[in-house]
Structure 1
Amino acid sequence: MGTRSTAVEKTKDRIVQAAKELHAAQGIQGTSYTEIADEAGVSMATVYRHFPTLAELIPACASSIIVLQPLTTESVAALFQGKAQSWQRLAWVIQGTCECYERDGGWLQAARREGDLIPPLTEIVQEQQKGLRTLVEAALAGLEVTPRQVQVLAALMDFPLWKSLREMGLTPSEATDQVLQLTRDYLEKEILIYQ
């Protein structure tokens, strides 16, 4: 039984990976289940068996992307163990999210572009933005930070800004450095100066 369940999971993983690649290349709505099946090397019936609708497939794709995974108080606390300073914690989060943006940017871009058209995508994007705010709040714990300041910092760390920097010709490293600089400047101007 263990071998069968392992094979099923591997098949589902192939389907999800194929879907993510195709969604990134041609959009979520522009990708058929037939194309996903061909890319994954399975039958269309197999794709439908595991993911009968986009409402099941989209969360499976999102769950494999780190910045889209739900956060708990415990998971956030564990992230910051050994990182004492607020800026150190925030910079670490920014670097990690930017690495994810580079790795999974195609799917994230498709999700943002089609988010208003496909309800599960809207929820995923909202959850990702909520996660960024949660990470900012946790990273800056101990500092007096207003909700508006948390929103601005989360916006500076969000995918659209990083994507725009990349589209303007910055390398992944340069885009990450720029996001770090913008957030540090904002942090120093708006928060640390008053603490």
Structure 2
Amino acid sequence: MSEAKRTYRMRDRAKSQEETRKKIVEAAMHLHEEVGPRATTISAIAERAGVQRLTVYRHFPDETAVFQACTSHWLSLNPPPDPGDWADIADARSRFKAAISAFYGYYSRTDRMWTAAYRDVDEVPALQQPMAEIAAFLKSVGDDLIAALDPKGSNPALAATVRHGLQFATWADLESQGLSEKEKAGLVMDWLTGTERN
């Protein structure tokens, strides 16, 4: 076999393997959203991807590796709000409102996955590290907003309101009560105003 043919076959094989890997990751991603991480088995992923269980294990040594790849892929398709989008807003309250509006719009678009992830996180060890990273991100966003709203750090109620407002669970509770995205953000701003008056 010529060197050119060997190179072509190796390239073709690598492309096929990458396509198979992508099918597995997307199958896991859709199952996590539809039935939840807890109910997503390797067998179910293999069936959804149209491959054998052994093929899944050839690409991913364990469930944690599948979850890491799935999380990375899903976040690349659904990146969380970028704090840089509101960092230049001089007024701290307006900055907070922009952040809340961005997160609530994001939660609205990605509701199914976050609902499943938060529901199952305590029972799925492979999910705990990615969710801890999301929690750290939200904490960082909250810290920056709190520092702008309360530079002296003298208002713990304000800090608690900012952190509570940023949580998916807060959005989900307000969503269950039928509030629009604008109404949700407005209510959180009213909470903030209440803490500033105390």
TM-score class, shorter: 0.7 to 0.9
Count of aligned positions = 184
Letter in 1 for 2:26: Q
Alpha-carbon distance change, 37 to 92 in structure 1, aligned in 2, over 3 angstroms: farther
What is the distance in 2 between the residues matched to 1:70 and 1:124? 13
Structure 2: gaps spanning 5 or more residues = 1-9
What is residue 184 of structure 2 aligned with on the other side? 179
What is residue 75 of structure 2 aligned with on the other side? 65
What is the TM-score with the length of structure 2 in the denominator?
A: 0.72
| Contact 1:65–1:104 under 8 Å retained in 2 | no
Indicate the structure (1 or 2) with the bigger Cα radius of gyration: 2
Letter in 2 for 1:182: L
Within 5 Å, which residues of 2 pair with 1:20-59? 20-59=29-68
What is the distance in 1 between the residues matched to 2:12 and 2:159? 47
What is the distance in 1 between the residues matched to 2:94 and 2:19? 37
Q: CA deviation at 1:135?
A: 1.0
What is residue 114 of structure 1 aligned with on the other side? 120
CA displacement, residues 141-186 of structure 1 (integer Å, 9 cap, x when unaligned): 433245553333222221112222333444xxx0x22331232112
Q: CA deviation at 1:120?
A: 3.4
CA-based RMSD of the aligned residues comes to 3.3
Matched-pair identity in %: 28
What is the TM-score with the length of structure 1 in the denominator?
A: 0.73
Equivalent position SS for 1:21: helix
Alpha-carbon distance change, 3 to 86 in structure 1, aligned in 2, over 3 angstroms: farther
Alpha-carbon distance change, 9 to 102 in structure 1, aligned in 2, over 3 angstroms: farther
What is the distance in 2 between the residues matched to 1:81 and 1:3? 46
Alpha-carbon distance change, 183 to 6 in structure 1, aligned in 2, over 3 angstroms: farther
Alpha-carbon distance change, 82 to 6 in structure 1, aligned in 2, over 3 angstroms: farther
CA displacement, residues 109-145 of structure 1 (integer Å, 9 cap, x when unaligned): 2221121112232333333233222112223443324
Alpha-carbon distance change, 42 to 167 in structure 1, aligned in 2, over 3 angstroms: farther
What is the distance in 2 between the residues matched to 1:134 and 1:39? 37
CA displacement, residues 63-118 of structure 1 (integer Å, 9 cap, x when unaligned): 3337x9799xxx74x34354322233222322332233233322222221121112
Letter in 2 for 1:51: F
Q: CA deviation at 1:7?
A: 5.7
